[in-house]
Amino acid sequence: MTLLQRTIDGVRPLCAESMEAARRRQGQLAKPAGSLGRLEDLSVRLAGMRRTTHPSVERKVILTMAGDHGVVDEGVTLYPREVTVQQVVNFLRGGGGINVLARHGGARVVLVDVGVAQDFDPAEGLQIRKVGYGTASFRSGPAMSREQALRSVEAGIAAALEEAERGMDLLGVGEMGIGNSTPAAAIACAVTGEPVASVAGRGAGLTDDGLRRKVSVIEQGLSVNRPDPKDGLDVLAKVGGFEIGGIAGAILGAASLGIPVLVDGLISASGAIIAALLCPGAKDYMIASHRSAEAGQRCMLDFLGLEPLLDLGMRLGEGTGTALAMHVVEAAAKILNEMATFESAQVSGPFEADPSTRG
């Protein structure tokens, strides 16, 4: 049995008993029922994921998957692929946006080299799980083999399991890979059926001509490769990326351990789609961190049935949205765990619904 299949088999439905107990406790807390809105719903989901009425999310990890893309050679991005390597080095030095926001939120950042077109020396905060030195351009053929797709997903699973052994209550998934908004859009279109023009965005700032070229490349790639929208590995192999496979695997690995996963923006959402195709039950463990400024993310979140926690006009990637949303998730858990009940606080509860009982 493959690591992927063992992981899928380990993903369980949310614990109904823990969720019901959390709902009852929410009803006893010293506040009007429902007054904390989505925080209350989120706390109930956390209880179901963690299988306890008192879920802890103190040990926070962000896995930033890195990989390069052959489709960059088709002129779909403003930046050269060398920037992937340069940014990974920057992240390892602590100088990226993800590093700043993770430090602020008390999360540790771990870079995972799933497919960067250069080797790295071993370093603290780096997992080396390279499947290949970048994908092929999917414009005229598959981005990778099916075997490589499986390996990239299993690399993500292994990365999540390794960090869980070190201690992890909450996972955020992010990415670094120049040109990766192109495969992300291709995955979304292949699975949801949305037209490419409504999903593909400007990425890091494409001109009108550049955007038209990007749309054309994706349309050609989908026509040539014809990915099967019901087969996650086929979609990933035909038009995906190694780091997108890594994201999918990390989500599955965390879900198999009952650990909630915050999904970042456009590219992370494409990895979440692959994870959901491979294991529909994994969607129960996904939390959308924020609504990306990239319009294409909307159809992805609709497919996953997720409503983002934040809407800040962000589109950086890296896992930055997850770093910010971790504050919200931790707040939801702390409300459930730490807030006094009407009884313990000696605060009078609400009147009965029947006015005649008020005396």
20 is catalytic: no
How far are the Cα atoms of 110, 114, 163, 336 from residue 271, in angstroms, in the given order?
Answer: 17, 13, 19, 30
Q: Which residues contact 37 (CB under 8 A, 6 or more apart)?
A: none
For residues 353 and 272, give the distance between their C-alpha atoms in angstroms, rounded to a whole number. 44
**Nearest of 215, 217, 183, 221 to residue 202 by alpha carbon:** 215
Residue matched to tokens 């088999």: 9
3-state SS class at 300:
helix
For residues 181 and 137, give the distance between their C-alpha atoms in angstroms, rounded to a whole number. 13
| Burial class, 355, CB count within 10 angstroms (exposed 0-12 / middle 13-18 / buried 19+) | exposed
For residues 49 and 46, give the distance between their C-alpha atoms in angstroms, rounded to a whole number. 5
Query: What are residue 64's DSSP bridge partners?
Result: 111, 174
3-state SS class at 33:
coil
Query: What are residue 62's DSSP bridge partners?
Result: 109, 172
Contact status, residue 263 vs residue 272, Cβ threshold 8 Å:
yes
For residues 261 and 251, give the distance between their C-alpha atoms in angstroms, rounded to a whole number. 6
Catalytic residue among 318, 330, 338, 343: 318
3-state SS class at 11:
coil
Helix (H) or strand (E) holding 127: strand 126-128
How far are the Cα atoms of 5, 120, 236 from residue 227, in angstroms, in the given order?
Answer: 21, 32, 8
DSSP state, residue 354: S
- Please tell me the number of Cα atoms within 13 Å of 77 on its side-chain side: 21
Q: Which residues are marked as active site? A: 318
